Amino acid sequence: MNASSHDRHTRRFAVSAPQRRVIGRCVWASLIAAALTAGCMQLGCRSIVKFGESRQSVAARRLSRQGLKAARQGEWGVAEDLFSKSLDVSDNNDAAHRGLADTLWLRGRRNEAIVHLKQAVQLSAGDPKHLQRLGRMYLELGRVDEAARQCEIALQSDREWAALWALWGDCEMAQGRSPAALAAYHRALSLQPDYPYVQLQAAEIYHQQKRHDRLLATLDRFNESGGSALVNQTDGGIIPGRADLLRGLAYRELGRGDEATRCLIAAAQKNPSDVTARLQLAASSIAGGDSVAAQGWIAQAMRIDPEAVAASGWVRSSIDTSELAGNMAISALDDPHPNSRMQSVYSPDSGLSRPGDANAPRSNSRMAIGPASRESR
């Protein structure tokens, strides 16, 4: 081939700059396509499955949120159905297991609740909130060692959550170690000063220890509306009027009779189904020489719960009420102040009224007051 024919051949197959750019892009596209094809051959359908799982997770979370909303509204049957559907879609949702556990627990299906909550703990890699709730469930079932174990594990990852220290205090209290329990409650209050449940638990210990000033100081900032008396999944329940009852007993021990009576009356009003405050009011009235008021409080208590009244030591007898003050042992009333006069709290300026049965006859009444046992917790 001569020079001229070679030049013609070269010009024939020459590629311009724009053409080279187009060819380069095609080559890169081919390489990318080849890599994707190889990846798909190695991974199979994983990407498709993953996309399907994400859609399932979204649906499961939506059902779980709806279940939580129903639970907050007290629609437990609806909540259980929604949480169950969420788990049918995806059983890897720890929130749905937790929600179903709480719902089953409130409906009395305790063992099933614990199964689902343990699953929530596992799926969440030991979320302290799930562990704390599981510990509370165990404690309510009397399985104290298991409750303490869950709490201990949770405290290893979160020592700044007051509810965990509250649970630890309850576990210590359940094992009869009140000093250790009080220390745990103090730790909880250092993290959350306005914690009604813990304030009340600490006050109960001070009541047992007869540290009345400390009891009153602990309950000084107590806000009963801050702790639910109905459903509190984090802590145990708060008994309505219990703080007023403890205050009343402490005031009485300190010789502050008027304040004691006001607190005991408040306790009786807040918890109309419990006779304890009424029995204590009767005891205080007897100690103050007001047997008529005492008789009224006992009559109210008898209408509410005769068995509790009988178990407390207050019994029907034929003793004339005019003889009660002389026949009653003050020690049995848990009141060391027999000379304190309680009638003054019913004066016109006090704003308080006698109990409904205060007009019962002073004598010839078959409802006399027998010895009262010491106030039980």
Which whole-number Å values give the CA distances from 315 to 142, 223, 273, 308, 369, in the listed order?
A: 33, 36, 19, 11, 6
The answer to whether the beta carbons of residues 224 and 238 sit under 8 Å apart is yes
CA distance 294 to 286: 6
Angstrom CA distances, 141 to 105, 146, 165, 201, 338, stand at: 11, 10, 19, 19, 43
pLDDT averaged over 10-residue windows placed end to end, the chain, 377 residues: 53 56 60 58 45 71 90 91 92 93 95 97 96 97 97 96 97 97 98 95 97 96 65 76 96 95 96 93 90 91 91 54 36 35 35 38 28 34
pLDDT in tens, 90-127: 889 999 999 999 999 999 999 999 999 999 999 999 99
**What pLDDT sits at residue 311?**
85
Axis crossing angle, helix 178-191 with helix 162-174, rounded to the nearest 10? 170
Integer Cα distance of 306 and 179 in angstroms: 36
Token pair recorded at residue 59: 């649906």
Q: How far apart are CA 67 and CA 61, in angstroms?
A: 10
Q: Is the pTM of this model over 0.75?
A: no
